[in-house]
Amino acid sequence: MPEAKPHQSPKYGNKLGHQIFYCLLRWFGPNPAYILLAFVVPYYVFFLKRPRKLASFYLKRRFPEDSSLKRLFRTYYYIYQFGMVLIDQAAMGILGRKAFKIDFPGWEELLNLSKKKKGMVLITSHFGNWQTAMAAVEDLAAPVNFLIHLEEHMEGRHFFDLAGIRDKIKVIESTGFMGGLIDVIKVLEKGECVAIMGDRAWGSRTQYCNFLGKQAAFPVSPYHLVTASGADLVVLLTVRTGKLAFKIDFFYLTDDDTEWKNLSAKEAINRLLPKYVRTLEDYTKKHPFMWFNIFDFWSEHKEDFEEEKI
């Protein structure tokens, strides 16, 4: 089987455009950036075909009864929401956490889990602003490592770049040897935390699960890690609630007495993956314009993924 090619995030805007928004944030705060965004989004929605196409994969599944006109207006609102999330992401790096209002109802429970030093896998998703959620977990009792793919065209746009703290962030490159999983297991066995995307495979092994009415390929790495290390597994989902404000919801997937290390990877995947997918699906129903996995997630062409048959 040929080596799987990791899916790439869409390229939006250019360096000059990004710098204009960054300058507005530094000098005047977020409001002028939000206003400018309202004039930029119509260009992407009404004059460019590709953004509409990328947004349509999700919107057609989430709102299957929409007419073409209604979907066009939903697309505008959806892309505008996406833009505001990107502005907030930049603001997290430029203005810092103190400028934000963070509602994190499960913080104490998550903090207590990290104090167990059992190791913890934090499943994040392309929901709301996952980067601000990761900035918010810096105060856990165990170090947090990021299993991510640092794409060249995203250079300088992560919150840790804009805050000038890239050298303080512990990154495990997901395109490394065995997808970085050997390094991940090592840090989990030391009692540390690892943040990993649950809704994008980056070329790693996947399993199909029904999501919004059709089978979609989800990465299985988080569930392999639970059986390999015995670590806890939690889901963090983030929604934008207003100007520089967001809420983080916490879901503890390994909250029973199961000895996950004693299960096979297949058993763990079949028990834990559906729990994550249902959690994600329920969240899209509550917050339909906050899931930004903007590509054909339901594609039957698996050039981007290597499917695991189990």
Higher pLDDT, 158 or 285: 285
Q: For the chain, give the secondary structure using H, E and C.
A: CCCCCCCCCCCCCCHHHHHHHHHHHHHHCHHHHHHHHHHHHHHHHHHCHHHHHHHHHHHHHHCCCCCHHHHHHHHHHHHHHHHHHHHHHHHHHHCCHHHCEEECCCHHHHHHHHHCCCCEEEEECCECCHHHHHHHCCCCCCCEEEEECCCHHHCCCCHHHHCCCHHHCEEEECCCHHHHHHHHHHHHHCCCEEEEECCCCCCCEEEEEEECCEEEEEECHHHHHHHHHCCEEEEEEEEEEECCEEEEEEEECCCCCCCHHHCCHHHHHHHHHHHHHHHHHHHHHHCCCCECCCCCCCCCCCCCCEECCC
Backbone angles phi and psi of 219, in degrees to 5? -65, 145
What tens digit of pLDDT does each residue of 54-77 get?
999 999 999 999 999 999 999 999
pLDDT tier for residue 166 given thresholds of 50, 70 and 90? low
What tens digit of pLDDT does each residue of 203-223 get?
678 999 999 999 999 999 999
Domain count, the chain: 1
Tokens 């065209």 correspond to 153
pLDDT tier for residue 306 given thresholds of 50, 70 and 90? very low
Domain span holding position 143: 1-310
Tokens 């995030």 correspond to 9
Per-residue pLDDT at 6 exceeds 70 = no
Q: What is the mean pLDDT of residues 139-151?
A: 80
What tens digit of pLDDT does each residue of 175-202 get?
665 667 888 999 999 999 999 999 987 6
Task: Specify whether the CB–CB gap between 169 and 159 falls below 8 A.
Answer: no
Burial class of residue 301 (count of CB atoms within 10 Å of its CB; 0-12, 13-18, 19+)? exposed
pLDDT at 97: 82
Q: What is the mean pLDDT of residues 30-34?
A: 95
Per-residue pLDDT at 304 exceeds 70 = no
Provide the mean pLDDT of the chain: 84
pLDDT at 137: 80
Per-residue pLDDT at 29 exceeds 80 = yes
Q: Residue 258: which of 230, 225, 217 has the closest Cα?
A: 230
Q: What is the mean pLDDT of residues 113-133?
A: 89
pLDDT tier for residue 10 given thresholds of 50, 70 and 90? low
What tens digit of pLDDT does each residue of 228-275 get?
999 999 999 999 999 999 999 999 999 988 888 889 999 999 999 999
